[in-house]
Amino acid sequence: MAAPAQILLENVSHVYRPVRGREVLALDQVSLQVANREFVALLGPSGCGKSTLLYLIGGFLPVEAGSITVDGKKVTGPGPDRGIVFQHFALFPWKTVRGNILYGLERQGMPKAEREKRAQDFIELVGLHGFEDSYPSQLSGGMKQRTAIARTLAFDPAILLMDEPFGALDAQTRGLMQAELMRIFQRTPKTVIFVTHDVQEAVYLADRVAVMSARPGRIKTIVDTKFDKKAENIFKERVFVEKVDEIWHLVREEAIKAQGRRST
Amino acid sequence: MAVRHVTTRARIKTWPAKAARILPLLLARCFSVAALLAAWEILARSGIFTPFQLPPFSAVVLRIWNDGAAGDLWINLALTLYRALAAFAICVLAGVAVGTAMSRSGLARWFFDPIVSVGFPMPKIAFLPVVILWLGVYDLSKITMAVIDAIFPVIAATVIGIQGVERELIWSARNMGASERDLLRQVVLPAALPQIMTGLQVALPLALIVTVVAEMLMGGYGLGGAMMTASRFANSTGVFAGIVEIAALGYALVKAMSLIRRRLLAWHPEAHAPSTV
Amino acid sequence: MRTLIRYLPLALLAAAWEAAARLHLVSSLALPPLTDVIGSWIELIRDGELLVNGLASLYRAAVGLALAVVVGALLGVMMAWFRPANTLLSPLVEIFYPLPKSALIPVTVIWLGFGDGSKILLIFLGCMLPVTIGAFNGARGSEQVLVWSARSMGASRLRMLWDVVLPSAMPELLNGIRTALALSFILLVSSELIVAQKGFGYLIGSLGANGSYDAMYAVVLTVAFLGFAADRLYLALTRRALAWRYDT
């Protein structure tokens, strides 16, 4: 880890206050460093606060305890240096595929001809040629997610925050999208924080996997998952299977603990 | 039962905290109403407006109080309420009946569908002189006019509601041996109730609006008639008193309807959701 | 052919009307034959009375409604996105929404007299709240993730209101405007029936008072048809504006 940390989280805590009901400590003293162009997966059972952590880094929720800095600057609100891809796509339903991708570029003040060209490039990159003028309601889940990814990549954020981006897709589409994401990142490397609860996905995509515990959310262990993943049958390779197994046991412990706590 | 017990206990426990959170909100809500009334009073007394243009709120309250003491208020209120509610009751019975018939019989659908789809968006109030021509200026014509206007939302809501009932629900009821009659009364209508209630919530204020207009045009007793009389004698305190009375009546009816809705639809998820506005 | 069968009941009703009047089943005073009504309608068109009064009415409705849409939509979005606006305005909306709008007719006359002003004010006041409530519910329902997406792509808060909140609110807002459109016709006709010097309502009233019932029927049917046509036209426009909601 020679590279300096680009994203720095120090003792970040967050309390969730529902309109009615009790306050919940969602995150407890979380610290994490992410290097430039590193791919970190946040893995944990549902309700461990991994999405909350992502929203804090994105600047959507206020940081109330601890500190988050990006490139040495404190995060105080959302900004185009951190692009986000949501689980349920969050496409503007009243804009076409092209319109959605153009939106971020317009906001950056890119000249018209240039942004038209760039939008088209990214439409090609995610393989949506021919669907430029379709509305999100006319697309399949996988196509919607490709649009969302293209929309975020197009305005070229240094950091990409992905909140279970493939969680709403069926298993086959999911596999295809993972491979495609790998392919895209080889061309346009980025710093990525990727929230998921799928162990295989985390090991396959990430350089490091941060396993989180539930209620209050803490980072329990960080596992190094950086190894050569180019092999054809990577999912059957011994080194891959062992990593998955190791992490799976860590996550399972947490899931069981979380279950037990919920039912009392 | 046990679950219920726990929740009530929890509610009692959190009550002071809840009160502390709700009380400022309640005060803030009262504030803007109080501010409006104060602004009315001050503006009226400031001399910017003549008492004819804007009588002071206190004078209007006094006028309502006197009308109440003299008994006129109660007669007018009762008559308007009677006409609006009678019209509403007819709309409920006839509207749901026609709507049900339209969803269950092809012939009824064929006959009523164009009438509803053309009649619903029409400003039926334009037929008021025709209704006067036919039925005179008494209760019958006022109630008829209100029915003509308010029945369409009920019919449309009933048809939409019944169409929206899930097939699986009907199939499983049939599967359990429900007769056609049971099916309608115990499955289809209850399942369509949220939609039907929405239609009724549109129909009731509409019945009141039309009743008031009809009273204004046809004269006689009733809140609308009294307002018109006051207006003819350039008695603007009387006109404003009429507005306050009619507003209070409208508010009470709308609140009553949403209470009834909550009661009837206690099973529906919306009953536990925060209400709109 | 299909449309023919679909609208046959209306034709049957019209035929029944004609027959009842011609066979003197009802007094021809109360129900002049449909053909006579059509004759009077042509007459009214020819001498320009229908046009003059109709334009006066449509002008009032259009101005009142336009004001109601602009002000109502602004108020609704503000109430959904600025807490102080909500705290201050929502009790007032709650009190005035159930007010039978027709009760305002005499007051608008007291304030602005018998002419255009009082009708426009009435239509504005009466139609504003359905628009406000539509905009409020729609804007409040705009999804958090869409707002966040826009913000992370560099949209300012104001820009976000315009780019995300307003389009999200559009379906409910357009629905509120449809209610307002229907209401504007009701308020227009009833206020003109009660006090006016021109307009559809005035024409209906004065023809009725003269006993020319066939002409009165002609105007009544014209107004009813215009209300229907306005609604259909509005629906067609709405469908186009909301094309993105429907797949295929």
Q: What is the CATH number of the domain that holds C161?
A: 1.10.3720.10
Q: Write out residues 129-158 of C within 8 Å (CB-CB) of B.
A: 133, 136-137
Q: How far is B212 from chain C (nearest CA, A)?
A: 7
Chain C CA closest to residue B106: C6
Q: Write out residues 166-185 of C within 8 Å (CB-CB) of A.
A: 167, 170
Q: Hey, is the C-beta of C11 within 8 angstroms of any chain B C-beta?
A: no
Query: Is residue B277 included in any domain, yes or no?
Result: no
φ, ψ at B119 (rounded to 5°): -75, -35
CA dist., res. A227 & res. C184, Å (int): 70
Residue C95 binned pLDDT confidence (cut-offs 50, 70, 90):
confident
Nearest Cβ partner of C227 from B28, B121, B208? Answer: B121
Q: How far is A159 from chain C (nearest CA, A)?
A: 11
Mean pLDDT score, A89-105: 90
Tell me whether residue A262 is exposed, middle or buried, using C-beta atoms within 10 angstroms of its C-beta: 0 to 12, 13 to 18, 19 or more: exposed
Q: Which residues of C touch A138 (CB under 8 A)?
A: 247-248
**Model pLDDT for residues B64-81, shown as the tens digit of each residue:** 999 999 988 999 999 999
Contact A159, A7 (CB under 8 A): yes
Nearest Cβ partner of B134 from C30, C94, C137? Answer: C30
Structural domain count of chain B: 2
Query: Is residue C234 included in any domain, yes or no?
Result: no
Using CA atoms, how far residue B69 sits from A243, B73, B237, B246, in Å, is 87, 8, 17, 18
Q: Which residues of A touch C148 (CB under 8 A)?
A: 55, 58, 60, 78, 84, 86, 90
Query: Could you list the residue range(s) of the whole structural domain that residue C158 is in?
Result: 53-201
pLDDT of residue A20: 66
Tell whether B220 and B167 lie within a shared domain.
Answer: yes
Q: Write out residues 196-225 of B within 8 Å (CB-CB) of C.
A: 205, 208-213, 216-217, 223-224
**Model pLDDT for residues B85-111, shown as the tens digit of each residue:** 999 999 999 999 999 999 988 899 999
Tell whether B28 and B71 lie within a shared domain.
Answer: no
Mean pLDDT score, B186-210: 90
**Contact yes or no for A90 and C143 at CB 8 A:** yes
Chain B CA closest to residue C108: B53
Query: Is residue C91 included in any domain, yes or no?
Result: yes
**Contact yes or no for A137 and C146 at CB 8 A:** no
Contact A214, A257 (CB under 8 A): yes
Query: Is residue A132 included in any domain, yes or no?
Result: no
Q: Is the pLDDT of residue B10 over 70?
A: no
Nearest Cβ partner of C133 from B30, B223, B277? Answer: B277
Q: Is the pLDDT of residue C130 over 70?
A: yes
Query: Could you list the residue range(s) of the whole structural domain that residue A67 is in?
Result: 5-81+157-263
Q: Is the pLDDT of residue A205 over 80?
A: yes
Q: How far is B66 from chain C (nearest CA, A)?
A: 21
Query: Is residue A192 included in any domain, yes or no?
Result: yes
Tell whether B79 and B212 lie within a shared domain.
Answer: yes
Tell whether B44 and B62 lie within a shared domain.
Answer: no
**Where do we find the tokens 């404190």?**
A74
Tell whether B108 and B239 lie within a shared domain.
Answer: yes
Q: Which residues of B touch C94 (CB under 8 A)?
A: 277
**Contact yes or no for B123 and C186 at CB 8 A:** yes
**Contact yes or no for A93 and C246 at CB 8 A:** no
Mean pLDDT score, C45-57: 92
Nearest Cβ partner of A92 from C146, C245, C248? Answer: C146
Query: Is residue C152 included in any domain, yes or no?
Result: yes
CA dist., res. A17 & res. A196, Å (int): 24
| Percent of residues, chain C, with pLDDT higher than 70 | 99
Q: Is the pLDDT of residue B43 over 60?
A: yes
Residue A140 binned pLDDT confidence (cut-offs 50, 70, 90):
confident
Q: Write out residues 147-176 of B within 8 Å (CB-CB) of C.
A: 149
Query: Is residue A115 included in any domain, yes or no?
Result: no
Q: Hey, is the C-beta of B233 within 8 angstroms of any chain C C-beta?
A: no
* More confident call, B52 vs A234: B52
Query: Is residue C220 included in any domain, yes or no?
Result: no
**Model pLDDT for residues B205-256, shown as the tens digit of each residue:** 999 999 999 999 888 899 999 999 998 888 999 999 999 999 999 999 999 9
Q: Write out residues 98-117 of B within 8 Å (CB-CB) of C.
A: 110-115
Query: Is residue C25 included in any domain, yes or no?
Result: no
Q: How far is C151 from chain B (nearest CA, A)?
A: 27
Give chains near C: 3+ CB pairs under 8 A: A, B
Q: Which residues of C touch A60 (CB under 8 A)?
A: 148, 151-152
Query: Could you list the residue range(s) of the whole structural domain that residue B5 is in?
Result: 1-48
CA dist., res. B10 & res. B19, Å (int): 14
pLDDT of residue B252: 93
Average model confidence (pLDDT) for chain A? 85
The arrangement of strands across the sheet holding A24-35 comes to: A24-35, A5-16, A65-70, A73-74
Contact C154, A96 (CB under 8 A): no
Query: Is residue B15 included in any domain, yes or no?
Result: yes
Size of interface A-C (CB pairs under 8 A): 68
Of A60, A84, A43, A113, give the one whose Cα is nearest residue A191. A84
Q: Hey, is the C-beta of C3 within 8 angstroms of any chain A C-beta?
A: no
**Contact yes or no for A107 and C153 at CB 8 A:** yes
Query: Is residue C216 included in any domain, yes or no?
Result: no
| Residue of B113, B125, B249 to mutate when probing chain C, most C C-beta within 10 A | B125
Q: Is the pLDDT of residue A210 over 70?
A: yes
Structural domain count of chain C: 1
CA dist., res. C15 & res. A252, Å (int): 78
Q: Is the pLDDT of residue A79 over 70?
A: yes
CATH code, domain carrying A169: 3.40.50.300
Tell whether B40 and B102 lie within a shared domain.
Answer: no
Cis before A216? omega within 30 = yes
Mean pLDDT score, C201-205: 92
Nearest Cβ partner of C204 from B121, B122, B126? Answer: B126
**Contact yes or no for C244 and A135 at CB 8 A:** yes
| Percent of residues, chain A, with pLDDT higher than 90 | 17
Mean pLDDT score, C217-235: 93
**Contact yes or no for B115 and C193 at CB 8 A:** no
Helix A141-154 vs helix A97-107: crossing angle, to nearest 10: 20
Instruction: Of A235-249, B5-19, C111-125, give the range with the top mean pLDDT.
Output: C111-125
Q: Is the pLDDT of residue B8 over 60?
A: no
B220 phi-psi bin (left φ>0, alpha ψ -120 to 50, beta other): left
Tokens of B227: 């307002």
Q: Hey, is the C-beta of C159 within 8 angstroms of any chain A C-beta?
A: yes
Q: Which amino acid is at B246?
A: I
Q: How far is C55 from chain B (nearest CA, A)?
A: 17
The SS3 of residue A27 is: strand
Tell whether B30 and B100 lie within a shared domain.
Answer: no
Structural domain count of chain A: 1
Tell whether B125 and B13 lie within a shared domain.
Answer: no
**Contact yes or no for B29 and C90 at CB 8 A:** yes
